[in-house]
Amino acid sequence: MLYRLSADAVLLLHITFIAFVLLGAALATRWRWIIAAHLPAAAWGFFVELSGRICPLTVVENFLRAKAGESGYAGGFVEHYFVPMIYPAGLSRDIQLVLAGVVLIANFAIYGWLFIARRAPR
């Protein structure tokens, strides 16, 4: 049971990380120090999608699920609702490249807005 709960926790961490990669720049509008954490996270997310690699959080989660005796994501709330967001059916290389573009565009747009807003006279 501990392995299953740990795997669920890793899955939730993974979802949180993905949200931070996509939208963390928006937090920089409130807290400037977020930029120091967000830029490396966004770069990592972009790299993983662009290179087609598997995120280490996926490896950890799968290890914990195997230790729990699970072979897939059948079961609880977390697996039913959150797994398809991270591991969509039919994920292809082309889709990964589109996702890498989404990461770049979303972050450039937010940081661009933040840069312009900070330079504008008050």
Q: CA 21 to CA 45: how far, in whole Å?
A: 6
3-state secondary structure of 4: helix
pLDDT by residue (tens digit) across 28-45?
A: 888 889 999 999 999 998
List, for the chain, all residue ranges whose pLDDT scores fall below the cut of 50.
74-77
Domain hosting 14: range is: 2-119
Q: Tally Cβ neighbours within 10 Å of residue 9.
A: 13
3-state secondary structure of 22: helix
The tally of domains found in the chain comes to 1
Contact assessment for residue 42 and residue 106, using Cβ atoms and an 8 Å cutoff? no
Mean pLDDT of the chain: 83
